[in-house]
Structure 1
Amino acid sequence: MKHTKTKKKWEFPDTYVIVFGVLLLAVLATYIMPAGTFDREEIDGVTTIVPDTYEGVTQAPAGLMDIFLAIQTGMIESADIIFLVLFAGGMFEVISRSGAIQAGIYSAIDVMRGKEFLLLATIITIFSIGGAVGALGNSVIAFVALGVMLVKALKFDAIVAVAITFNAAFIGFAAGFLNPYTVGIAHNIAELPLFSGLGFRLIAFVILTGVTIWYTWRYCKKILEDPNKSLIGVEDSEESLELDNEFTARHKWILAITALGLIFFIFAVIKFQWTTNHMAALFILIAIITGYIGKMNYNEIAITFIEGCKGLIYGALIIGLARAVLVIMEDGLVLDTLVNALSEPLSALPPVATALGMFIMNSIFNFFVPSGSGQAAIMMPIQTPLADMIGITRQVSVLAFQFGDGFSNSLFPTSGTLMASLAVAGVPWVKWAKWFLPLFIIWSIIAMILLAIAVMINLGPF
């Protein structure tokens, strides 16, 4: 018998594999990069680098066991952020299981029948807000099928279905005025008050969401005028969209309490200096209250909450693994060397150019690490002291990370959520990229303008 060897198809490495590869590069750096440190000082509780104090020290290369100890240490040092992410998943799972989110969306669709523009604008806004507060991430995939049903009834194509659900959620995620997975983690690392700079990010949210609505509706109008202008074709459908999910008073109470809880948190951050730990605790409280209103018993609330946590284990633990990179570089005394090496050429550039460079750098890095929380854990420890050295505020560096990480989630095929959403809608990535690329360019131009303004006004903590 002849045995034929089957060649295994090459697969793009998983995010964990990529981050572990970055960890190994950090280990290698402790052997080949000169070791050095800056002096540091604490001002108003914030630790900053003292410029022009870098000096070389004896190398401290990492050993084999140090690699795996760093992973454990990274998990421990990131525990507050990891549990924030897990508890957010638990809370939103309880709310979702009550049917309040779905019923709210169905209600908006039902009210807006016959008013196509208002309907699409409302749906995009709802999904964008969901992304901005962290309610919609990977879970948006489940709503893409609803979007497909809707656009068929409206005589649009499946690209529109992805645009009004996935794409809307991720522009909200990028603007992220209250996003615990990106802004919350970045602020924690940068030692900024949690969700500070909210007003500026709200302005960014309104502009970016508004542009997204305009761009999407512009494409829809073309299809209404001539279906042949669809990039993938419009399916003929005589089916009407039947929505039987009643938006009850119970659903309204659940959404209202969730919204009030998040608004109160913003107030408490400003008034009482609440932290990520307070936010995680608030997520548990909201889950219990909304679960009770949703007629869940204590066992159902607990089990549902844990299931929600399970859904975010992948994204949560990547934070600890990414933190291990920082642990190796700090213990190996090469982090300050890297910051010093980057600061020297960047210090010769205008501050605005430096901020734009951070934005571009984060956009490129997101291709390899398509995880907002993981990217924050890797990039912010480098960008924070770099911002101090070159004279831009830490808030600007967070904004550059936020935009760089967020926009490309809707473009790069390494984004699992994007590819899953396209698969549900039956849209080829090439067709999506052709539709989305002009919008990506518009988003990027807006981001650069906002970053330039942020640099010029010295955007600070509040």
Structure 2
Amino acid sequence: MFSKTTPGEAGAARVKKKLPMPDVFIILFSFMILVLLASYIIPAGTYDRSTANGLTQVATDSFRYIDAEPLNVMDLFTAIHNGLVAASTLIFLILIVGGVLKVIESTGAISAGIYRLLSLAKGRQNVLIFIFCATFATLASVGVGANLAIAFIPIGLFLARSMKLDPIVGVAIIFLGSYAGFGAGVFDPTVTVTGQTIAELPLFSGFMFRGAIFVVFLAITAAYICRYAKRIKQDPALSVMGAEVFESATNDNRPDTETTFTLTHKLVLALFALSIGFFLFGAFNIDWGIPQLSATFIMLGVATAAIGRISPNAFIKRLMSGAGEVMYGALVIGVAAAVIVLLKQAQLIDTLVHSVATSLDGHGKIVAMELLYLFNLVFNGLITSGTGQAAIVMPIMVPIGDMLEVTRQSTFITFKLGDAVTNIITPLSGTLMACLAIARISYVEWFKFALPLLAMWVVAGGVFVAIAVGINYGPF
């Protein structure tokens, strides 16, 4: 009457029950609870700050502990609302981009364009992977924010699908390519300029050393993606998303040999390129930001509907469909921002920075800077804004470097590498979560894929920090 279960089968059943990982919302809410508990244990503290030439600077010898009310349960849940409000600009950008790209996708222009690109490359997938990685790495290294990668994720997905690869590859060639370049920040007019200004260095000085970082990080990233792509091409079951993802994508507008690259397709893609160029011109010359990027995409969507002869009602329906597909990731961005809201409300950020700064006493130059690099890796997991992190951390790191008789340039590169690496894996990164939402990749799947690459980046960054300290990386 009762079926027998062997000990091995029972063990397997228990393992299966343990496999499901908590949803990213659960992970983020757990972070929020930790901050709530920390507010009762860790004393609040603050540095004095001043503003000079538009930059907020910290007075390094001004730290003091202050009286602050610990967080309560109402603060915990109010932070979710406040986080959504704080991240609203990026949230609305994601919804708009997702909707407009759905309209563009419905014209068939992206699939036809990708097939044309594949035809020109004659199936050499490694060449295509490297070209995409190098392109976005170059853009990010000269200041085209990695946030812009969000707009190109659907193109990466179509490219991956057309090569019979999983969505992980589609996101990786865009997102990881961007952060490989961002890590070097060769001529980045935001984070590099902010950090070097605080360190009182000539702007963009030391670019040859950062150029070497660019080459190494790009090479590691492209090789890692190519190796993964080759492996899953040979055996789809090796995909971190499982073999099922290939089956579900077979009828998902994948380009084939019958795809015709029509005049409409060419016009839509040309309009897309012109729109991105139009925004970049405004970003570099008129200080445009995310609101103008959202407006550019809305205009792009309307123009695409006109070219593709899409009726107004059909346009709205496709727009809402695309926005719905990225809604999950958009809300994740807001909850991630809620963690930062709580840290600021409890006034714990300055306390954490101060405790690390004082713990480095008594170490040699290289060891101390490596510890500072590791601290910045962790800190970047919480404060993912490069300029925001520069404003908080660089004024603390500069006097530490001076006391260790380390050049200012070495201190800056320690900050820059620490600022970049963990962006590819922290769930508090709005850009990462938005890209995963568009691709419908779970955070757990991405974590499994990106963790080995993260380890390589961390090691490579540590080597460059040691070299910079060892050669007295100049000019100061």
TM-score, normalised to structure 1's length? Answer: 0.67
Partner of 1:282: 296
What is the Cα deviation at residue 25 of structure 1? 0.8
1:208-236 CA deviation, whole Å, 9 max, x = no partner?
Answer: 555655677789999xxxx99xx99xxxx
Partner of 2:151: 135
Using the aligned pairs only, state the percent identity. Answer: 27
Give 1:143-154 correspondences, 5 Å limit.
144-148=160-164
The one-letter code matched in structure 2 to 1:135 is: A
Partner of 1:357: 374
What is the Cα deviation at residue 264 of structure 1? 2.7
Judge conservation of contact 1:70–1:324 (CA < 8 Å) in 2: yes
SS at match of 1:9: helix
Residue 404 (1) aligns with residue 410 (2):
no
SS at match of 1:134: helix
TM-aligned CA distance change 1:345 to 1:300, over 3 Å = farther
Residue 58 (1) aligns with residue 67 (2):
yes
Give 1:46-195 correspondences, 5 Å limit.
46-113=55-122, 116-117=123-124, 120-122=126-128, 124-126=130-132, 133-137=149-153, 144-148=160-164, 165=170, 167-175=172-180
Pick aligned residue for 2:352 from 338, 362, 380: 338
TM-aligned CA distance change 1:71 to 1:166, over 3 Å = closer
Judge conservation of contact 1:110–1:243 (CA < 8 Å) in 2: no
1:86-131 CA deviation, whole Å, 9 max, x = no partner?
Answer: 2222232222222222111111222343xx54x5413553477589
Aligned counterparts of 1:45 and 1:58: Cα–Cα separation in 2: 29
Judge conservation of contact 1:40–1:50 (CA < 8 Å) in 2: yes
Aligned counterparts of 1:250 and 1:339: Cα–Cα separation in 2: 55
TM-aligned CA distance change 1:208 to 1:99, over 3 Å = farther
Aligned counterparts of 1:295 and 1:20: Cα–Cα separation in 2: 45
Judge conservation of contact 2:156–2:173 (CA < 8 Å) in 1: no
SS at match of 1:48: strand
Gaps of 5+ in 2: 138-145, 183-187, 198-202, 240-254, 399-407, 428-434
Aligned counterparts of 1:313 and 1:379: Cα–Cα separation in 2: 25
1:390-434 CA deviation, whole Å, 9 max, x = no partner?
Answer: 13899975664443232799xxxxx978x9889xxxx9x99x89x
Judge conservation of contact 1:346–1:390 (CA < 8 Å) in 2: no
TM-aligned CA distance change 1:162 to 1:130, over 3 Å = same
Q: Which moved more, 1:137-146 or 1:14-23?
A: 137-146
What is the Cα deviation at residue 386 of structure 1? 1.9
Aligned counterparts of 1:457 and 1:79: Cα–Cα separation in 2: 41
Partner of 1:271: 285
TM-aligned CA distance change 1:77 to 1:202, over 3 Å = farther
Q: Which moved more, 1:343-352 or 1:98-107?
A: 343-352
Pick aligned residue for 1:319 from 321, 333, 358: 333
Q: Which moved more, 1:254-263 or 1:164-173?
A: 164-173
Give 1:353-432 correspondences, 5 Å limit.
353=370, 356-357=373-374, 360-361=377-378, 384-391=391-398, 397=415, 400-406=418-424
TM-aligned CA distance change 1:38 to 1:20, over 3 Å = same
The one-letter code matched in structure 2 to 1:387 is: M
What is the Cα deviation at residue 26 of structure 1? 0.7
Partner of 1:260: 274
Aligned counterparts of 2:156 and 2:348: Cα–Cα separation in 1: 40
SS at match of 2:115: helix
Judge conservation of contact 1:291–1:301 (CA < 8 Å) in 2: yes
Aligned counterparts of 1:77 and 1:266: Cα–Cα separation in 2: 24
Gaps of 5+ in 1: 149-157, 178-182, 233-240, 366-374, 410-414
SS at match of 2:31: helix
Q: Which moved more, 1:301-310 or 1:211-220?
A: 211-220
Aligned counterparts of 2:90 and 2:26: Cα–Cα separation in 1: 21
The one-letter code matched in structure 2 to 1:87 is: I
TM-aligned CA distance change 1:126 to 1:277, over 3 Å = same
What is the Cα deviation at residue 297 of structure 1? 2.3
Give 1:300-319 correspondences, 5 Å limit.
300-319=314-333
What is the Cα deviation at residue 75 of structure 1? 1.2
Aligned counterparts of 2:264 and 2:214: Cα–Cα separation in 1: 29
1:342-384 CA deviation, whole Å, 9 max, x = no partner?
Answer: 3333587669636742575379x6xxxxxxxxx6659986675
TM-aligned CA distance change 1:446 to 1:253, over 3 Å = farther
TM-score, normalised to structure 2's length? Answer: 0.65
Q: Which moved more, 1:352-361 or 1:202-211?
A: 202-211
What is the Cα deviation at residue 304 of structure 1? 2.0
Give 1:237-248 correspondences, 5 Å limit.
242-248=256-262
The one-letter code matched in structure 2 to 1:292 is: A
Aligned counterparts of 1:274 and 1:39: Cα–Cα separation in 2: 31
Partner of 2:142: none
